[in-house]
């Protein structure tokens, strides 16, 4: 057993308490490789923001679980070296089984998500409770989920989205003992959240559901998944340099700012980072077709990613200077 405290990591409890009290959200950024991790940590140190480093099951398979964990440990030292020891949480994103959550907890994760949102309610409660019982023995925080977001390829619509039922949240939180709750209010994963016809704008998030949830579990930390905004200038840059991303739109940043000021304490962003890296790499490839040193295209991608994260921290989440 490697306990996260030995690695210099923290769980999310105190970070959420402060975020709730002051009306901002902690950034939860996914990483799979070194450049993404460098960009996240540098952005957070430069803005003095706490951060949740997210690792998905797919990231663990892609990059190797041991390597990722040592990278997170390295991130703690890297932040100190850059001059400011921002609080860092290492979080399992979308854990799908007790065994996966347990394995992460035993290898240094300070926080896990158990995503039982696709299960019938009682099974979601049972599985989440089982993870909480194990996690809390090690002072690891747990995120559960109620309601189902539209899938990666699905447009957000009532056909694909099962909005969180506010009448279930109180029971779920008290029966499971979770530390935070992800809810479904109209966001979805991936870069294709909304397909707009000319003249249409993105439908607003269901703030009515969020408010109802807040009333039933006051002061309880809420999590928003699928919170990329799919910036049009980045999409245009990808297409300009040979990409093909058509008719895509994400969650407008003003809606995320409004969410961050409420009980939403954690906002998950992955796709926007993927887009920013891709745009920067495509630009280098298009402008310098003779370039073949990975540092010459991953370096600019890392810089673009850092700027994107700083923008999110300062202008969307409000977590700058909260470390």
Tokens encoding 211: 């408010």
Q: Which is nearer to Zn ion, 225 or 266 (CB)?
A: 225
- The CA-atom distances, in angstroms, between 69 and each of 132, 262, 282, 321 are 21, 32, 30, 26
Binding-site string for ligand 13P from residue 270 to residue 299, where x marks contact by CB under 6 A and - marks none: xxx---------------------------
- Whole-number minimum distance, CB 91 to ligand 13P, in Å? 9
225 forms part of the interface with ligand 13P (CB under 6 A): yes
Q: Is 228 in the site for ligand 13P (CB under 6 A)?
A: yes
268 part of the interface to ligand 13P, by CB under 6 A: yes
- In whole angstroms, the minimum distance from the beta carbon of 219 to ligand G3H comes to 26
- Catalytic residue check, 154: no
3-class DSSP state for residue 90? strand
Number of residues that bind ligand 13P (CB under 6 A): 14
Q: Which residues contact 174 (CB under 8 A, 6 or more apart)?
A: none
CB of 159 to ligand G3H, least distance (A): 20
Site membership for ligand 13P, residue 190 (CB under 6 A) = yes
129 vs 189 by CB, closer to ligand 13P: 189
Residues that bind ligand G3H (CB under 6 A): 30, 56, 58-59, 93-94, 189, 270
CB under 8 Å, gap of 24 or more: what pairs does 34-39 form? 34/71, 35/277, 35/298, 35/301, 35/302, 35/305, 36/273, 36/277, 36/302, 36/305, 37/71, 37/72, 37/75, 38/78, 38/302, 38/306, 39/273, 39/302, 39/303, 39/305, 39/306, 39/309
How many residues in total does the chain contain? 323
Q: Which is nearer to ligand G3H, 64 or 174 (CB)?
A: 64
The smaller minimum CB distance to Zn ion, of residues 61 and 174, is found at 61
* Contact residue for ligand 13P among 189, 266, 282, 310 (CB under 6 A): 189
Element (H, E) at 24: none
Residues annotated as part of the active site = 93
């Amino acid at each position: 057993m490697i306990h996260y405290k030995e690695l210099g990591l923290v769980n999310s409890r105190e970070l959420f308490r402060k975020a709730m009290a002051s009306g901002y959200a902690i950034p939860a950024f996914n990483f799979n490789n070194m450049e993404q991790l460098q960009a996240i940590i540098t952005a957070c140190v430069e803005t003095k923001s706490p951060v949740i480093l997210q690792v998905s099951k797919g990231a663990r398979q892609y990059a190797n679980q041991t390597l990722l964990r040592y990278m997170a440990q390295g991130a703690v030292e890297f932040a100190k070296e850059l001059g400011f020891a921002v609080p860092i949480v290492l979080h399992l994103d979308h854990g799908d089984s007790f065994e996966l959550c347990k394995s992460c907890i035993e290898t240094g994760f300070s926080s896990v998500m158990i995503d039982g949102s696709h299960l019938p309610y009682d099974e979601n409660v049972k599985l989440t409770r089982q993870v909480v019982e194990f996690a809390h023995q090690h002072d690891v925080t747990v995120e559960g989920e109620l309601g189902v977001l539209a899938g990666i390829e699905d447009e957000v619509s009532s056909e694909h989205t099962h909005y969180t039922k506010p009448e279930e949240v109180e029971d779920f939180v008290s029966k499971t003992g979770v530390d935070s709750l992800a809810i479904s209010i109209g966001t979805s994963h991936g870069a294709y959240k909304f397909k707009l016809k000319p003249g249409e704008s993105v439908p607003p998030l269901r703030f009515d559901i969020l408010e109802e949830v807040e009333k039933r579990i006051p002061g309880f930390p809420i999590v928003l998944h699928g919170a990329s905004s799919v910036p049009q200038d980045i999409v245009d840059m990808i297409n300009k340099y040979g990409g093909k991303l058509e008719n895509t739109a994400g969650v407008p940043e003003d809606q995320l700012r409004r969410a961050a000021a409420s009980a939403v304490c954690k906002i998950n962003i992955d796709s926007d980072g993927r887009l920013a890296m891709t745009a920067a790499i495509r630009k280098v490839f298009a402008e310098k077709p003779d370039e073949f040193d990975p540092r010459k295209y991953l370096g600019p991608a890392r810089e673009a990613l850092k700027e994107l994260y700083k923008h999110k921290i300062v202008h969307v989440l409000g977590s700058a200077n909260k470390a």
